[in-house]
Amino acid sequence: MKRLEVITRTLLFAGATLLFAACNSEVDVSSTGKAKVGVTDAAIDAENISGVYLKVNEVKAKGAASTKTVATFDTPKTFNILDYQNGSTFDLGEGELAAGPYSELRFILEEGSYVKFKDGSTADLDVPSGTSSGYKIKGAFDIAADATTEVIADIDMRKAFVLTGNGQYKLRPTARMIDASETSTIRGTINNHNQDRVVVYAYAKGTYEQSESAAPSDDEATRFENSINSAVVSNGQFTLAYMPAGEYELIAASYTKNESEETYDFKSATVAEVFIGGNLLDILEVSANADINVLIQADFE
């Protein structure tokens, strides 16, 4: 009898242990947090374009095992990407997700995204798979239980928006996704430039090569294709928003106004000298949650 009693107690203990583990596992699986999604941009070169409009029906997030809906809209959220630059964002809503890692956002689009020109005319915008699997923005972010994570889709129209060889306007899937809580802002001034336009490009340390400034052979690629971020200098000032922590070098490029086509033609590029507090830096180090003010100097040809 004692032997039977021992076996019975052992089985009861094992069952209780398994039940406890299952309950804990269920709690972990059901832990949720919120994702708050915003959209931002960097400027494009075409002066004759006043708007690039997306019509978003649904926002999804891709996790390790499946793709989940963040937010859906009774009527499409329509917005001009060009309106949100220098750190400003368009709010695409928020929703609850299972806690854990995610690797992609998807904007499921309504038919009818378009380009608007300054003369009031419009053209269709081709977003491959935009109305089916969605416009895809890749990048890693984590949803923490019982917390809200602000996720930013930086579309960067300078790289994403192209005019293809057949005359069609297209949105390339080159956008980056950022956890806003892990980024910083670089605010800068450039000294003594006399150019029609200057654009500052941020490159991860050691990744910039002179060939980046060459005209691409592929009509869907752009100059400075591998830059992390870019900003147009206005009145001597520029802002590089949502910069991940890391080491960077800044490249300054000059452009000449093309009056007939209302665009800017590339002229030259140089690695900028970066100063903070009067000290020349070999490399610009960016930590999370910082607001960095720099002065740059660029010797253009």
| pLDDT tens, residue order, the chain (301 aa) | 434 344 344 434 444 443 444 444 433 446 999 999 999 998 776 778 999 999 999 999 999 889 999 999 999 999 999 999 989 999 999 999 999 999 999 999 999 999 999 999 999 999 999 999 999 999 999 999 999 999 999 998 888 998 888 889 999 999 999 999 999 999 999 986 789 999 999 999 999 999 999 988 876 788 999 999 999 999 999 999 999 999 999 999 999 998 888 788 999 999 999 999 999 999 999 999 999 999 999 988 7
Which pLDDT does position 48 carry in this prediction?
Answer: 86
- The two beta strands, 169-171 and 122-126, are parallel
What's the pTM?
A: 0.84
Residue with tokens 């336009």: 197
Which pLDDT does position 181 carry in this prediction?
Answer: 92
Where b means 16+ CB within 10 Å and e means fewer, 245-272 reads ebebbbbbbbbeeeeeeebbebbebbeb
Which pLDDT does position 24 carry in this prediction?
Answer: 43
Which pLDDT does position 30 carry in this prediction?
Answer: 64
Query: What are 265's strand-pairing partners?
Result: 256
- State the architecture of 183-301 in CATH terms: Sandwich (2.60)
Ramachandran quadrant class, 259 (left: phi over 0; alpha: psi -120 to 50; beta: rest): alpha
- Structural contact between residues 52 and 162, judged by C-beta atoms closer than 8 angstroms: no
Contacts of 182 (CB under 8 A, 6+ apart): 244, 245, 288, 289
Q: Enumerate the domain spans of the chain.
A: 32-174, 183-301
